[in-house]
Amino acid sequence: MSTIETDGRRARGEASRRRILAESTDLATTVGLDGVTIGLLAETTGRSKSSISTLFGTKEALQLATVDEAADVFRREVVEPAGGVPRGLPRVAALLAALLAYSRGRVFSGGCFFQACVADMGSKPGPVRTALQTHIAQWEGYLQGQVAVAFERGELRHGDAQTVAFTLLALYELSNARSVLTGSDAPYRVAAAGMTAVLDAAGADPVPPTLSAYE
């Protein structure tokens, strides 16, 4: 087999893999990550079970690839857009605005991928739960780190980085859950107002308009 034929086959395989993962990440937010199976993906994508098995092997491998793909999407939608904003309070506000937009814009049909999958997999020990824990810890640590920078620079002065970051994330998570349940955008406006109030109470003067404008 020629190098061109081999490279072409690899490219087609990777394209197929990406299409299947796009479907599996979205499905996971509506049927649960544990509900994403090779059989279900065969039905929804029109591909054979054997072709999907060839690409991923086992259900667990498929789930792990799905988590990694969702993490890549999250980075593109939330983390990278705020990367050009100055560190500290401005970036915290930009991250929060992007976070709300990620859920509100239904990048995934069932809202936030990680919140949907934590509810599904949180009580099921194993590699998939560990992968979820790892990605969530990385994100939460990054946001908390930016809040800590804001404290170090005097942009925030009251409280501590861990509590402020936790409270901001709690507002996001509740807004995502309530919007998915009700189909309304109102929870995001309430969350944005709540986030602004949390930052204001922590001494932000003023809260960057990136977040305030979201209200």
- Reading the chain (215 residues) residue by residue, the pLDDT tens digits are 455 445 456 656 578 888 999 999 999 999 999 999 999 999 988 888 888 888 898 899 999 999 999 999 999 999 999 999 999 999 999 999 999 999 999 999 999 999 999 988 878 899 999 999 999 999 999 999 999 999 999 999 999 999 999 999 999 999 999 999 999 999 999 999 999 999 999 999 888 887 766 55
CATH number of the domain encompassing residue 178: 1.10.357.10
The residue assigned the tokens 């409270």 is: 167
**Number of structural domains in the chain:** 1
| Residue 105 vs residues 21, 75, 77, 183: alpha-carbon distances, Å | 19, 15, 10, 12
User: Rounded to 5 degrees, what angle do the CA atoms 178, 183, 189 make?
Assistant: 60
Which segments of the chain does DSSP mark as H helices, in order? Answer: 3-31, 38-45, 49-56, 59-74, 89-104, 113-121, 127-152, 161-182, 186-201, 209-212
DSSP label at 110? T
The residue assigned the tokens 């009700």 is: 182
| Residue 191 vs residues 101, 120, 136, 184, 196: alpha-carbon distances, Å | 12, 24, 20, 13, 8
Domain that holds residue 190: 3-212
pLDDT confidence of residue 159: 96
- The token pair at 137 is 């810890």
